[in-house]
């Protein structure tokens, strides 16, 4: 599991991400578990929410950039974070509201990665106001409103990822878009996974 970091004021929040190769491994494990009819026991509860449209400014890359490109994006975003820190949404205490790892297909329609989850885009960045303009060498994505299933990642990333996909398969719930990583600064950088199930 790769590690990146994002600033919270003058502090750093550890950011756990899923490189492309590990994402493929997650999908392979999940498909095998579904075929075997097995589940993964976890204490963490799967919850549901609706999030309105939101914008993220970050560093963009794609699977065409080669292995390890996601880690490199986070390293780049972290090293230049001061360039967008003033654009990031903040709470009443001045803390950044969220650090996101967004994924999309190449059409930028926020569909899952293509060709069996091997081809797509990734954006490593911070949530910003909708009217914010991306500085040079940064990219802004605006995510449409979705209904999500989400889960707190207390243990292994791939276990949580597989657990939710297996739950969705067993309950005939279809994935409506690419899965997002979310770091909550208010919880000391706690990682959550957001699974779109309905576009609003």
Comparing C-alpha atoms, which of 89, 68, 87, 71 is closest to residue 79?
Answer: 71
Round the average pLDDT of the chain to a whole number and report it.
80
Q: What is the pLDDT of residue 19?
A: 38
pLDDT of 182 over the 90 cut: yes
Domain 2-199 in CATH 3.20.80.10: yes
Nearest-angstrom CA–CA distance, 200 and 46: 20
- Domain parsing of the chain, residue ranges: 2-199
Q: How confident is the model at residue 188 (pLDDT cuts 50, 70, 90)?
A: confident
Q: How does pLDDT run across 56-91, given as a tens digit for each residue? A: 999 999 988 988 898 899 999 999 999 999 999 988
Q: What is the pLDDT of residue 16?
A: 38
The answer to whether 179 and 157 have CB atoms below 8 angstroms apart is no
Q: pTM for this one?
A: 0.76
Q: Which of 127-131, 161-165, 184-188 has the lowest mean pLDDT?
A: 184-188
What is the per-residue DSSP string for the chain?
A: -EEEEEEETTEEEEEEE--HHHHHHHHHHHHHHHHHT-----SSPPEEEEE--EEEEEEEEEGGG-TTHHHHHHHHHHHTGGGTGGGB-B-TTS-B--EEEEEE-TTSS-PPPHHHHTB-EEEEEEEE-TT--PPTT-EEEEEPPEEEEEEE-SS-HHHHHHHHHHHHHHTTPPP-S--EEEEEGGGTSEEEEEEEEEE-
């Amino acid at each position: 599991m790769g590690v990146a970091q994002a600033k919270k004021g003058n502090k750093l929040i550890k950011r756990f991400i899923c490189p492309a190769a590990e994402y493929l491994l997650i999908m392979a494990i999940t498909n095998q578990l579904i075929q075997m009819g097995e589940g993964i026991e976890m204490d963490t509860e799967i919850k549901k929410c609706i999030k309105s449209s939101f914008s993220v400014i970050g560093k963009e890359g794609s699977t065409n950039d080669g292995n390890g490109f996601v880690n490199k994006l986070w390293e780049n975003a972290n090293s230049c974070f001061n360039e967008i820190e003033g654009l990031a949404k903040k709470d009443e205490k001045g803390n950044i509201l969220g650090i996101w790892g967004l994924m999309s297909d190449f059409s930028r329609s926020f569909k899952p990665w293509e060709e069996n989850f091997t081809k797509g885009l990734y954006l490593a960045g911070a949530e910003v106001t909708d009217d914010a303009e991306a500085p040079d060498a940064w990219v802004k994505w605006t995510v449409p409103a979705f209904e999500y299933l989400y889960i707190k990642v207390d243990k292994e990333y791939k276990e949580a990822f597989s657990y939710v996909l297996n739950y969705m398969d067993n309950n005939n719930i279809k994935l409506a878009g690419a899965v997002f990583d979310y770091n909550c600064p208010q919880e000391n950088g706690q990682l959550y996974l957001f699974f779109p199930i309905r576009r609003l």
